[in-house]
């Protein structure tokens, strides 16, 4: 179990590190330009802490991730991701890494994002990825289809006008840029699902 967790979060951390500039460039266009740095910093700490835990399970690893992201990630992303992981972990009944637990986690995370961010589908926020993936998981779509859809949900925010957060100040000028939170969410959710 622990080796699987280290592998999953190691891959998330590695890809966020590789795409830090990409995430930063997206955020420079419609935000304050710190999303790449913040996500790299947060998941660096997550991986460090997980490596220190000899017998941590999936449920506890998700909760620990939320606690770290809440304390180490700045801006709006820290509280949103932090609460998403904490509330999502509380939705899991045991520590197995399986389809049902990931479905319960993603739904719980999406609920937390909706409540905390007061967001809806189509607002061009990370909620657009989390809620749609939660719906796909509830429908029990094949993993391969959901993996394709994650990228689609991320890319669809390029055509949306941002209605929440700093990007909403740009109004129509926010159209044409993928939401940075959706870009980082795609990385996280893809690696969680790929390991099923």
* 36 alpha carbon, distance to own chain's centre: 13
Nearest alpha carbon to residue 103 among 153, 140, 55: 140
**What is the pLDDT, as a whole number, of residue 55?**
86
Cβ 12 vs Cβ 20: under 8 Å: no
pLDDT score for 107: 98
Residue 49's nearest CA partner among 6, 92, 3, 108 is 6
- 32-50 pLDDT, tens digit each: 899 999 999 999 999 999 9
- CA dihedral for 148, 154, 155, 157, sign (positive or negative): positive
Q: What does pLDDT average to over the chain?
A: 93
- Can you give the residue range of the structural domain that contains 30? 2-194
Residue 103: CATH number of its domain: 1.25.40.340
Which pLDDT score, from 0 to 100, does residue 160 have?
A: 94
Cα–Cα distance measured from residue 49 to residue 59, given in angstroms and rounded to the nearest whole number:
15
Q: How many domains does the chain have?
A: 1
Regions of the chain where pLDDT drops below 50: none
The model carries a pTM of 0.94
Residue 1: the pLDDT is 66
- Which residues, including other chains, have CB under 8 Å from residue 18's CB and lie 6 or more apart? none
């Amino acid at each position: 179990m622990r080796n699987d967790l280290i592998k999953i979060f190691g891959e998330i951390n590695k890809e966020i590190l590789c795409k830090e500039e990409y995430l930063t460039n997206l955020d420079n266009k419609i935000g304050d330009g710190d999303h790449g740095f913040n996500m790299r910093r947060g998941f660096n700490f997550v991986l460090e802490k997980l490596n220190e835990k000899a017998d941590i399970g999936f449920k506890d690893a998700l909760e620990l991730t939320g606690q770290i992201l809440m304390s180490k990630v700045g801006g709006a992303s820290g509280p949103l991701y932090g609460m998403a992981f904490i509330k999502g972990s509380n939705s899991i009944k045991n520590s197995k890494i399986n389809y049902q637990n990931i479905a319960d986690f993603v739904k719980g995370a999406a609920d937390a994002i909706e409540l905390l961010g007061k967001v809806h589908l189509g607002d061009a926020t990370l909620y657009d990825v989390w809620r749609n993936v939660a719906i796909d998981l509830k429908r029990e779509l094949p993993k391969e289809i959901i993996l394709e859809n994650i990228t689609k949900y991320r890319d669809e925010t390029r055509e949306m006008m941002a209605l929440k957060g700093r990007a909403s100040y740009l109004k129509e000028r926010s159209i044409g840029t993928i939401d940075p939170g959706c870009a980082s969410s795609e990385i996280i959710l893809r690696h969680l699902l790929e390991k099923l």
